Structure 1
Amino acid sequence: MSFFYNGNDDHTASPISDPFLDALVSLSSDDPTVFTGANALKNSDVFAAIRIIASDIASSPISSSNVTLQNLLNLKPNNLMDAWHFKFALVVNMLLNGNSFAEIIKDSNSKVSALNFIPNSEMTVTQDDSTGKLTYNYTPINRTKRLIAPESILHFRYFTQDGITGLSPLYALHDELKIQHLGNNMLSGFFANGIQGTGILKVHQTQLDKSAKKNIRDKFEDANSGSLRTIVLDDDMDYSTLEVNTDILKLVNSNDWSTRQIAKVFGLPPEKLGVENEHSSNEQSNLLYLQNTLGHYFDVFTSELAAKLTGSFEFNTDELLSVDPETQQSLAVKGIQGGILTINEAREKLGLNSVTGGDEIMASLNYTPLSNLVVYQDFKENKGAVTDETGQTVNN
């Protein structure tokens, strides 16, 4: 049983061969397993949503207990890509197709030496109906077809019904994208007709057949559409414009419903797609975005990495949580004063070098356990003498 296929068995070479652009793929039918090339990604809201999520994940370093793998994931996973574009391409494919793939390459000592990105157009995954075993069929363009063992493939998928097959968020946006497309076509058609919009051209003292009317209409529109131009008419012609209901155009132009739906499906705060959000501040929205959206995407990657590779993995989100320099410095000072950060830890967050003696936790004398206050009060009242547990005075 095959559950991923590219819908095109001839593997005609694409004019776009750059690995980064090959990652930009899009659904073109109601079937969530069918995709086309990068030229299908024409919706600006979808492009922006995927760009934001993919960029944020690609910009977040991955910490690992395995130093070799950490360097591969953060520096150069293979000979063709740097780490940023490698992670970006994986996220783009996962969001648009529901699945993304990378092959684990090992050296003669069975140690991981590279992670090769595989475009979805070159991968077909089959599952045996009786055993449930997965088979990854790799069909690179103009190269030899081969099978890859499941343990040698990093297979990332987010939304899934069976834990194996990933579904794209675009599958849930079929109707919304169609509505947005129709609205954009209405605006495009209006502006394409120039300032005249829809009008009536009357030709006096003659009977015109269908072909003649079409010919006069086409020539008139060709001469006067698109830009501010002076209309020149013969004596036997009159032109009048029909009133256009601009309220409809305003509604189409100001309607942000489909944009909000796209943001909702991808888990983005609406303001990241240019829609005003009246119910929360930017700080609250960014925190919710990190916790409720990026956190889940991070888990998709770290769980697959931990399952197929040796070591533990975690995304570093410091850059995503970074604030303006003044606020960042204030938080660092509060961390030192509260005994949470050492001086050097706070300086590291500010991008400063460590200093001698800066590795100790600082504590304020203004904070002390309540029991110490009793001893201190007795000390003051007895002028240097305090009592022990039995109430006997002990000279200090």
Structure 2
Amino acid sequence: MFFEKRSINIRGQSTLGVALGNGINIYNDDYVSAESVIRNSDVWAAVNVISSDLARIKLSTESKKINKLLLNPSRIANRFNFIQSLIAQMLLTGNAYAVRRTDSNQEFWEFVRPSNVTVNLSDDGQTITYDVSFIAPDEPDLKNIDSADMIHFKCFSMDGGLMGKSPLAALSSELELQKSSRNLAVQMFRQAINPMAILKSNKAALTEDAKENVRASFEKANSGSNAGRVLILDPLFDFNQLEIKTDVAKLLNSVDWTRDQIAKVFMLPTDILGNESEHSNADQIRNLYNTTLGRYLASIVEEIEAKLDVQIIADVKQATDLDGIGVEQRVNEMVKAGTITTDMALAILADSQSDLVTQEIVNKVSAKEVLPNE
């Protein structure tokens, strides 16, 4: 049962909790700092895309009480931002936690940072409980929280589903290389002498004032409204356009390589992070991305189902087919193949995310068709 006051343990001091004193600590303050890793723009993009799209998916059940919780899981944040933060935390650290609470018989979830959670395994290896510490001095810590009262999202597990691992664990070398490459590139462009072109004098050495006058005159004659026009040089000067050094170009290309690695570990098509793939079209990219969302969504849905003891229905249309173009294409193909009729196709599209065929449009068209016969 849930507790009514924040100072009371969710399940109370059970015999399992008493035996926990000699249990095995399997996780304690060992997490990746979201604040530091998220400064990498490619990691930011990957985490933001996945967490935002998964948060758009509406979850529902046959229970009105549970539906109310799923629509308003937090007392201090809206559903989208709360779920997005949980998923982002899961992607960055491998684990995300929310304690199940009650207040006036109304259940809600409270987000807890992984650094504030200790997960313990009982001596017999059959029971998991959680200890939670809070930063606020007036909020008492929670001990021996039963696993049923802790929502625990896991990204990837190698220990039988007890704890998750972040995709970032496979990127330590790549992230360090990308950081070093970018820093070196900035240093080279900031400190090196990198003129865009050279205007060489064919006469005696010029004074500093003469050089500045020649430079200013040349720039004025070949920029602004004169840009792109035919270049006419005085015989006294030779002009050469410089190209970027090959070593600098290779250095910058290494950033693209690490971006591909980041996309790979997050199971994203490289196009999502800005690297255009050579052999994929829009439909292939969308299908690959939908598969990725399905992989993450499965663990989230099953965790909620296990903790709430309900069957969850996930409406993925909001995340995978926002404008309905996907279902429109599928319906058109089914009509051409004779699998469904035109009327059935219209009914499907009217009930979908399609922004071309809506129930309102169908009703108006139907009304016009029956009026002449009345």
Q: Which TM bucket (shorter chain)? A: 0.5 to 0.7
Match of 1:203 in 2: none
Partner of 1:353: 359
Superposed displacement of residue 333, structure 1: 6.1
Shift of 1:5: 1.9
Q: Distance in 1 between matches of 2:279 and 2:84?
A: 31
| 1:307-343 CA-partner distances (Å, limit 9, x unpaired) | 1103211321213332767776565566677238364
C-alpha distance in 1 between matches for 2:310 and 2:244: 64
CA contact (8 A) 1:158 1:166 kept: yes
Q: Quote the residue 1:322 is aligned against.
A: 321
- The answer to whether the 8 A contact 1:335-1:346 is kept is no
Residue 87 in structure 1 maps to residue 69 in structure 2: no
Deviates more, 1:123-132 or 1:302-311: 123-132
Tell me if structure 1 keeps the 8 A contact 2:153–2:303: yes
Aligned equivalent of 1:212:
none
Quote how far apart the aligned CAs of 1:34 are.
2.9
Alignment of 1:154-303 (within 5 A): 154-162=151-159, 163-193=161-191, 195=193, 246-255=245-254, 256-291=256-291, 293-303=292-302
Residue 46 of structure 1, aligned match among 43, 46, 52: 43
User: Which of 56, 59, 80 in structure 2 is aligned with 1:59?
Assistant: 56
Flag the 1:333–1:113 CA change in 2: closer, same or farther, 3 A.
Answer: same
Q: In structure 1, the residue corresponding to 2:317 is in which secondary structure?
A: coil
Q: Which runs of 5+ in 1 are unaligned?
A: 7-32, 198-242, 360-396
Larger CA Rg, structure 1 vs 2: 1
- Please tell me whether the aligned partners of residues 54 and 319 of structure 2 are also in contact (alpha carbons under 8 angstroms): no
Q: Which aligned runs of 4 or more in structure 1 are off by greater than 3 angstroms?
A: 106-109, 129-132, 194-197, 323-337, 339-345, 353-359
Residue-by-residue CA offset, 1:59-93 (whole Å, 9 max, x unaligned): 1111322233233223x212111110111111111
* 8 Å Cα contact 1:335-1:341 kept in structure 2: no
Question: How big is the shift at 1:192?
Answer: 2.2
Q: Among 10, 18, 25, which residue is 1:2 paired with?
A: 25
Distance 1:358 1:135, change over 3 A: farther
Aligned to 2:220: none
- 1:261 offset after TM fit, Å? 0.7
Q: List per-residue Cα deviations over 1:174-194 (Å, max 9, x = no partner).
A: 111111111111101112215
Residue 130 of structure 2 aligns to a residue whose secondary structure is strand
Contact 1:102–1:153 (CA<8 Å) still a contact in 2?
yes
Report the residue type matching 1:81 in the other structure. A
TM-score with structure 2 setting the length: 0.68
Distance (Å, rounded) in 2 between the aligned partners of 1:102 and 1:139: 13
1:170 Cα shift? 0.6
- TM-score, normalization: structure 1? 0.64
- Counterpart for residue 341 of structure 1: 344
Correspondence for 1:99 among 88, 95, 110: 95
Which amino acid letter does the alignment assign opposite residue 351 of structure 2? E
1:282/1:305 CA distance change after superposition, 3 Å = same
Of 161-170 and 59-68, deviating more is 59-68
1:36–1:333: structure 2 CA closer, same or farther, 3 Å change rule?
closer
Letter paired with 2:184: M
Name the CA distance, whole Å, in 2 between partners of 1:101 and 1:188: 38
Find the counterpart in structure 2 of residue 309 from structure 1.
Answer: 308
| 1:252-274 Cα shifts (integer Å, max 9, x gaps) | 11232111111000000001011
Contact map agreement 2:55 2:80 (CA 8 A) in 1: yes
Equivalent of 2:117, from 120, 123, 132? 123
- Decide which moves more: 134-143 or 323-332: 323-332
State the Cα distance separating 1:108 from its structure 2 match. 6.6
Superposed CA RMSD in Å reads 3.0
Structure with greater helix share of residues: 2
Query: Which residue identity is paired with 1:77?
Result: P
Q: Which has the higher contact order (CA 8 A, sep 6+)?
A: 2
CA distance in 2, matches of 1:342, 1:248: 57
Residue aligned with 1:320, SS: helix
Post-superposition Cα deviations, 1:331-361, rounded to whole Å, max 9, x if no partner, equal 55666772383644422323633667999xx
Tell me if the contact between 2:34 and 2:92 (Cα under 8 Å) persists in the aligned partners: no
- Helix, strand or coil for the counterpart of 2:26? coil
Mapped to 2, the partners of 1:325 and 1:103 lie a distance apart of 36
Asked if the contact 1:333/1:346 (under 8 Å) is kept, the reply is no
Q: Secondary structure at the match of 1:254?
A: helix
